[in-house]
Amino acid sequence: MGRLLRMLGLGLVALAAALVARALALPSRQVVTPAAPRIALEDAAIAERLAAAVRLPTISHQDAAAFPRADFERFHAWLLASYPRLHRGLERETISDLSLVYTWRGSDPSLAPVVLLAHQDVVPAESPERWAHPPFAGEIADGFVWGRGAIDDKGALVAICEAVEGLLARGFAPRRTVILGFGHDEEVGGESGAKQIAALFAARGIRPALVIDEGLAILTPGFLPGVTRAAALVGIAEKGSVTLEIVASAPGGHSSTPPRSTAAGALAEAIRALEADPFPGGVGGVTALSFDFLAPELPLLARVPLANRWLFAAPLGALASRNPAINALLRTTTAVTMLSGSPKENVLPTEAIATANFRILPGETAETVRERVAATVAAPDVEVRFKDPGRDPSPVSPVDGPAFGLIQRTIGEIFRDAIVTPGLVLGGTDSRHFAAVTPNVFRFAPFQYDASDLTRPHGIDERLSLANLADGVRWYARFVENASAAFEAP
């Protein structure tokens, strides 16, 4: 027995040594670059222009009849007045009446263009009385521009325009064509805006070298557990979405003579079965890539399990699943959001309906989600049907080519201590419409956020700091400079 225990102990020591050695041997996926020259900016003037943009309530409503066309036209006039060099130096086109495309012709037409996207529209501002500053006042206070759209997405739009205006003022002429695309209906799906811009590219045979849109950003040090540096997350894919209706049917009747089970009861059983059997998940796909980029930069104790996922995959997945935000990166998620049944309290429902929204992990489709849900809730008189066609997840963009390398290198030049890692976008962006014209679609805004900032887009007290805005201008300017050449993978 003693010999067996000694052998077991030696085996455990050898295993631990192998795990540590594997962790220590992880090669860094980061790119070492010199700092970009720091351009001087008039921060206060740039902030005033973002504040002015916020004051124009370019709201996308679900009801198309409520679309404020006049506010978008005023926004276009404001762009023209605010960025005169941009409008003189770039070709401007209007798509679907209100979306804008600006083309900055490069000197070498053999180079595929780069595309910078942002959207003009914002969501409505609920509960304005709860805001520290009125949502469309565009106030500057405490080092922030406050208001709806400051982050989502007028901050990026203004930063792009400021970068181009500044480059033109300094006499910069790109070698590679740069295209700016500003859709007007991203918040309601982008069907008339970005989708039509992408269709125009396809019709003209334009195959961009890469497309960059909003999506992910830079998280402050400590935001991610065990990560003591800022983490710059570049979205390389986004989840899909589908809404299903789970419908339980029954004969109905008067509530004074109820059967043993009603349609409402059958629906409750279906919901219970659905929530008790979540979609399978784990550390794979895009999330595994994220860990591959993060792991070499972590302290050894945190690095060991990530470097040895063959052994720690199950506990890592179980631990990550406890956090709703991280769990959403691991699997297709289920959210029952609406219920309906009888029209009157003493009437048994002939139909009880649950509406459930699913955010679809790459690898699944809207149809495979419906099939699994139908199998999970299978019961007599229970049907699962599409409430809308849904949208499948985007393709996953490559991280091993020059396009991602260009973004990574530019982040390193401006945000010196940030760890760059690919990531998965949980929501939808205009960028998904461009997958048909380029495999290199990325989602990154060059702004740094802490935990409180993540609730502000679409929420209360949306704001963007003046420091963030200035760094965003510097990043876009440097990106255009770097992209101007025939970039190579670092």
**Which residues are identified as catalytic?**
121, 186
CA atoms in the 13 A half-sphere facing the CB of 43: 15
Across 100-122, b (16+ Cβ under 10 Å) vs e yields: bbbbbebeeeebbbbbbbbbbbb
- 3-class secondary structure, 194: helix
Distance CA 443, CA 273 (A): 36
Gyration radius of the chain's alpha carbons:
25
Distance CA 367, CA 250 (A): 26
Distance CA 465, CA 477 (A): 19
What is the DSSP annotation of 336-395? EEEEE--SSTTEE-SEEEEEEEEEEPBTB-HHHHHHHHHHHT--TTEEEEESS--BPPPP
Residue where the block lists tokens 């064509």? 177
Q: Which two tokens stand for residue 415?
A: 């945000």
Q: Which two tokens stand for residue 340?
A: 């309906």
Distance CA 373, CA 376 (A): 5
Q: How far is CA 301 from CA 296, 304, 305, in A?
A: 11, 6, 8
User: Which residues sit opposite 482 in a β-bridge?
Assistant: none
Q: How far is CA 340 from CA 222, 247, 264, in A?
A: 43, 10, 9
E strand spans, 165-318: 178-183, 210-219, 231-238, 240-249, 253-254
- 3-class secondary structure, 130: helix
- How do strand 347-348 and strand 140-141 relate by DSSP bridges? unpaired
Q: Cβ atoms within 10 A of the Cβ of 219, count?
A: 24
- 3-class secondary structure, 193: coil
